[in-house]
Each structure stands twice: as C-alpha cells, then as structure tokens.
Amino acid sequence: MLAKSIDQNKNEGETILYLSPRGKKFDQSYAKKLAREKSLSLICGHFEGVDERVLSTRNIEEISIGDYVLSGGETAAYVVIDSVLRLLPGVLGNDNSKMEETFENGLLEYPQYTKPQIWDKKAVPDVLLSGDHSKIKDWRLSQSEAITRVRRPDLWEKYKKR
C-alpha cells in the first residue's frame, strides 16, 4: 500500500523521509538543508514501522529526532515540520531573529527578559537597559557561553574547536 501511494503521488525531485529511531540524527543543520528542498514528504510508521523493502527500493531517507522511541512517527513529524517551516522566508515576522537563536552559533541562547523591569524583586541586568549595543552583544555572548558550558558540555566542546 505505501509503495503504491509513493509511486502514484511522488513529485519530481521530492525528498521522502521516514521518521525512525535508527535514522540520521535530525538537528538544526539538517533542518536548514530540508528548508532548501523543493518538496518533502514524511512517512510516519506506527509501532513496528515500515516494511524494509519499501524503504530500500524508494530512495527514502531515515531520520531520528532523538534517542528514544515513540509509538508512532506523527509527533516526530510535527517536530520536523515546525523546525523546517520556521526557516522558510516570511514565516517568522523578522527573518533576522533566526540568526541569534540557540544552535545558530553553536551555543545555547542567552537569557531573555521582558517587562516589567523588576519582577519578584529581580531586576533586568543593567547592561540590557544601557543602550550600548556592543556591551549588550558581549553580555549575550558571555551568557550563551556560560550556559552552554554548564548545561551542554557536548556543545561546548564542539564550540571550542571552531
């Protein structure tokens, strides 16, 4: 059934992905690659997955969103769809905002602050209110580095090697 559906509905140049724990690890870099594709189709297996013969004869890539097992690929597909769509031009209100997010420079994102300036006796850091864009940029980088070093030593090691 799946093979017939693929054969009857595949678009020219379309990339077909199967969400599977044994697939290539999906990350931000992979999302960027997929955002450049002309057409994507996602296959979601359920419980035991998809017949291997279909996967091996239809040029289907397997991707995994992490080292755990879900009962079906639908949730994983949503993760892929959301992360890819937001990279398409015009999807976010400000396309430049994507450049400072987690994983863009190999670091976790710096802390965010909103109004009011004082909340629960805690103030927004003075540097963020200073108007000095150079100091704000330096502060954000130092915060990103510190957070990454503590929370994700694996990312920190990769970042240091850049």
Q: What is the CATH number of the domain that holds 130?
A: 1.10.1270.20
Answer whether residue 32 shows pLDDT above 80: yes
Q: How far apart are CA 39 and CA 59, in angstroms?
A: 14
49 lies in a domain? yes
Contact 86, 80 (CB under 8 A): no
Q: How far apart are CA 90 and CA 93, in angstroms?
A: 7
Higher-pLDDT residue of 96, 104: 104
Answer whether residue 1 shows pLDDT above 90: no
* pTM score, whole prediction: 0.78
Tell me the average pLDDT across 108-129. Answer: 96
96 lies in a domain? no
Domain limits at 120?
A: 101-160
Structure tokens at 2: 């799946």
Residue with tokens 């398409």: 88
> Tell me: the pLDDT tens digits for 60-97?
999 999 999 898 999 999 999 999 999 998 888 776 66
